[in-house]
Amino acid sequence: MKKNLGVVPAVYPMPVLMVAAYDENSKVNVMNAAWGMICAMDKIALFIDEDHKTTQNILKTKAFTVSIADKEHMDVADFFGIATGNKMTDKFERTGYHAVKSEFVNAPVVEEFPVVMECELVEVVNTDNMYAVVGKILNVGADEDVLSEGGKIDPEKLNALIFDQYQSGYYVSGEKVGKAWNAGAGLMKK
């Protein structure tokens, strides 16, 4: 029998996404966002508050990047979640990290994170129940050391951080335990 826990955001795993955008002066701001997901083959939705500095920058520039945080950069990824660009004007500079302008959109690519999606703003969903920024992915860039021999991102090499909302922890993904669209195929024959 299950124990009732009340209302808990009980989705696990959650990604650790680094959302970056320029302000009106081309200054870099980055935030940590766990509430984001792919919503179409070429789109990503970020469920972030409208008052975040990064959100305001996205609304102004109509572009942003989303990087996947990894174990090696956990300290800075966490810092991007606890510091606010609304109060800390040197937030990005404190990290010593480097950003270059995306070739595809008017947004920064943080060089230290191994995978980045370069996005243009296509929609803002603002209802009584949610605020979401939706971006069209124009390009995905990845460091070569996280690619498989076939040139695809390899989760076992990526060491992507996973956020645990239950106990506020970070974990690392990577172990492959089955093949999608195959592990359950035997049940199709019943």
pTM: 0.94
For range 27-47, the mean pLDDT? 97
> Cα Rg for the chain, rounded, in angstroms?
18
pLDDT bucket at 176, cuts 50 / 70 / 90: confident
Two tokens, residue 61: 């520039």
Where residue 176 falls (left for φ over 0; alpha for ψ -120 to 50; beta otherwise) is: beta
- Give phi and psi for 189, each to the nearest 5: -85, -5
pLDDT of 131 > 80? The answer is yes
User: Domains along the chain?
Assistant: 14-185 (2.30.110.10)
The proportion of the chain whose per-residue pLDDT surpasses 90, expressed as a percent, equals 89
Question: For 19-51, b where at least 16 C-beta lie within 10 A, e where not — what string?
Answer: bbbbeeeebbbbbbbbbbeeeeeebbbbebeee
Helix (H, G, I), strand (E, B) or coil at 20: strand
Say if residue 190's pLDDT is above 80: no
Residue 111 DSSP symbol: T
* 64 or 174, higher pLDDT: 64
pLDDT of residue 173: 84
One-letter amino acid at 62 equals K
1 pLDDT above the threshold of 80: yes
Dig out the tokens for 16 from the structure: 């650790």
How many residues can be counted in the chain?
Answer: 190
Res. 155: pLDDT tops 80: yes
pLDDT of 90: 95
pLDDT at residue number 22: 98
DSSP 59-85: HHHSEEEEEE-BGGGHHHHHHHHHS-T
Q: If we measure between CA atoms, which residue out of 51, 53, 66, 60 comes closest to residue 20?
A: 66
Provide the pLDDT for residue 99.
98
**pLDDT tens-digit map of 78-119:** 999 999 999 999 999 999 999 999 999 999 999 999 999 999
What mean pLDDT is reported for the chain? Answer: 95
Distance, in Å, from the CA atom of 123 to the CA atom of 184, rounded to the nearest integer, reads 36
pLDDT value at residue 189: 84
Residue 17 confidence class, pLDDT cut points 50, 70, 90:
very high
Beta bridge partners of 118: 65, 139
Which residue(s) pair with 43 in the sheet?
A: 40, 136
